[in-house]
A and B are shown apart, each in its own frame.
Chain A
Amino acid sequence: MRSLSPILASLANALKIPLSSAPTRPSITQLSNELLKKPARTFTTTNPLLKRKTNAPRGDRRVTLIRYFLWHPLTPRPLRFSRTRFLRHWTIHRAWQLHQAQQRNARELELQRQWQAMNAACEELRTGAGDGGKLFRKSMNKRAVFTDLFPIEYGRLQTEGPSQEGWNHEWKRMVK
């Protein structure tokens, strides 16, 4: 058996090449077959975090989950529509903007109408009530508006209908 140089011998040992009496150059297919015979890593579905030893320091599982969902990418790529779908979207969008503008206009006009009605009523109270403007002065008194504010019974978001119990007749205003 011909002796190889120590470098070649160690390489042959590492690559699992049998040292035959008639040494042939290892082909690529031979090498890859040799490598494929040994599985690199056994297949497993176990989470590496779960495989850890139980006595190893592991944080709160809830915090781990929260971190996972916190860094989860939330922004999807922009929508890409074809021509007809884009046109449909654009039409609906314009119609919705138009509708909103009309509603906004209607609300502003309603507020303006209310303000002008108040203006006319106060002018009438000031000049035409015949009491020297006493009622008008009383109505313009803003003494407690900004200190007493709205009563808490008023400050309630409106619902479609009354509650299940209807009206609570026993309710009394809280006395401080």
Chain B
Amino acid sequence: MAASESSRYLARSLPRAFVPTVRPQGLCLRRNVSGQTAPADLNELESATSLASMASSDAVKSFDPIARSSQRKKQLPRSRYQFRSPKYDRGPLHPHQPPPPSDPSSRLYIPGPFSLPRVEQTYQSTVASDILTLCYVHNPPGFKPPPKAARLRSWDDSSPYHKNRPLRGPRGGDVLRLLRKPINFNNVPKLERITIHSYIKQAAQENSSWLHVAGMAVQAITNAKVETFKSKTSVATWSIVPGRDTVAVKAELRGEDMLHFFGKLVDVVLPRIKDWEGVKGSSGDSSGNITFGLEPENVALFPEIEVNYDMYPPKMIPGCHITVHTSAKTDKDARLLLSAMGIPFYGKIVN
């Protein structure tokens, strides 16, 4: 014990680089012993279930919980100490810390998942390996890619004022784009999140009912709470003043909600849009996020709004912009992923 204590202090006093780590650093897949469960060891467990009751039958017959509770003068106290998660974050040094979000007593706890979405099953069974095959580039063993020039250029020291300047931006503009690594089994692009954004100019021109109906419609189709935003820009023709008018709602979807939304979009809504050619080939922010818009009559095609169409004022159903954020680093990879998942593209493909 004492030896282990001293070694712990020794390890703490050493710089970080010298301390031996338990896990090898270069391993891409982590495997734990606890993950390798062997089903043969289950005979150590008790065979009888612990949930079965062993009360005698006449005690069970005479037990009348309704009569007992009506005889009781006041409510029973709770059986155990109940932990309450702190309502506000008071910093890491406060003694009352919130539990991890997986704990049901946490305020961030979300139960689920309750389903295995079709989008996820399709992606895992077919799309991932097909994209991996399509993007495969063979390099012979021992191949080393030629070294590339640094993306941030240094200044030529033609002027004494170049000293201590920050490095120059890349050629042809100041935007430092994301690096695209060749796609291999570790970085097959996948869906990360979907953002639904709706700008309602009538919320500033008329009254707030436009915003409320739009928020309700977006909540209905996404199963997520929306955020509202004030306008940042001034649009004189719409009489919109920055900072005064709340004009936009946004919902951000991840995980199960996102996959269900994407499934509804691809299976139900997009095929029923009249004369829709697809998403424009030039769409995208050149870092793997594709945006397209839906008109109000297309938003009304979502099954949640369609079954309940009478409860929305028809002129107030909003149009929206849908941004699909993928883990791809360039638009062409993101487009490949989305076309494999059922979103068509038209026109000239621009990267």
List CB contacts (< 8 Å) of B330-351 with chain A: 332, 335-336, 339-345, 349, 351
Q: How far is the CB of B184 from chain A (nearest CB, A)?
A: 6
- With an 8 Å Cβ cutoff, the count of chain A residues facing the other chain is 51
List CB contacts (< 8 Å) of B13-52 with chain A: 29, 31, 34-35, 37
Size category of the binding interface on chain B: 35 or more
Q: How far is the CB of B248 from chain A (nearest CB, A)?
A: 16
Nearest to B131 among chain A residues (CB) is A150
Contact across chains for A66 and B336 when beta carbons are under 8 A apart = no
Q: Which of B77-85, B145-153, B288-296 contacts A (4 or more CB under 8 A)?
A: B77-85
Q: How far is the CB of A172 from chain B (nearest CB, A)?
A: 16
Nearest to B134 among chain A residues (CB) is A145
Q: Which of B104-112, B156-164, B192-200 contacts A (4 or more CB under 8 A)?
A: B104-112
Task: Enumerate chain A residues within 8 angstroms of B322, measured Cβ to Cβ.
Answer: none
Task: Enumerate chain B residues within 8 angstroms of A70, measured Cβ to Cβ.
Answer: 212, 215-216, 219
Q: Which of B35, B122, B136, B212 contacts A158 (CB 8 A)?
A: B122
Nearest to B277 among chain A residues (CB) is A176
Q: Mark A65-99 against chain B: 1 for CB-CB distance below 8 A, else 0.
A: 11101100010001111110010010001000010
Nearest to B211 among chain A residues (CB) is A70
Q: Is B209 an interface residue (CB 8 A)?
A: yes
Q: How far is the CB of B271 from chain A (nearest CB, A)?
A: 10
Q: How far is the CB of B261 from chain A (nearest CB, A)?
A: 13
Q: Which of B105, B138, B219, B343 contacts A81 (CB 8 A)?
A: B105
Task: Enumerate chain B residues within 8 angstroms of A122, measured Cβ to Cβ.
Answer: 136, 138
Contact across chains for B340 and A102 when beta carbons are under 8 A apart = no
Q: Is B121 an interface residue (CB 8 A)?
A: yes
Assess A115 versus B313: contact at CB under 8 Å? Given A123-B138, A156-B342, A158-B126. no
Contact across chains for A145 and B135 when beta carbons are under 8 A apart = yes
Task: Enumerate chain A residues within 8 angstroms of B312, measured Cβ to Cβ.
Answer: 62, 66
Q: Is B185 an interface residue (CB 8 A)?
A: yes
Q: Which of B31, B35, B132, B313 contacts A114 (CB 8 A)?
A: B132
Task: Enumerate chain A residues within 8 angstroms of B188, measured Cβ to Cβ.
Answer: 111
Q: Which 5 A-B pairs have the closest CB atoms?
A: A155-B342, A149-B339, A111-B185, A122-B138, A79-B104
B-side residues, CB < 8 A to A, are 29, 31, 34-35, 37, 79-80, 82-85, 102, 104-107, 109, 118-119, 121-122, 124-126, 128-130, 132-138, 140-141, 184-186, 188, 209, 212-213, 215-216, 219, 225, 263, 266-267, 310-313, 316, 332, 335-336, 339-345, 349, 351
Extra inter-chain contacts (7) besides given A78-B107, A150-B339, A150-B340, CB under 8 Å:
A62-B213, A78-B105, A109-B29, A118-B133, A123-B138, A156-B342, A158-B125
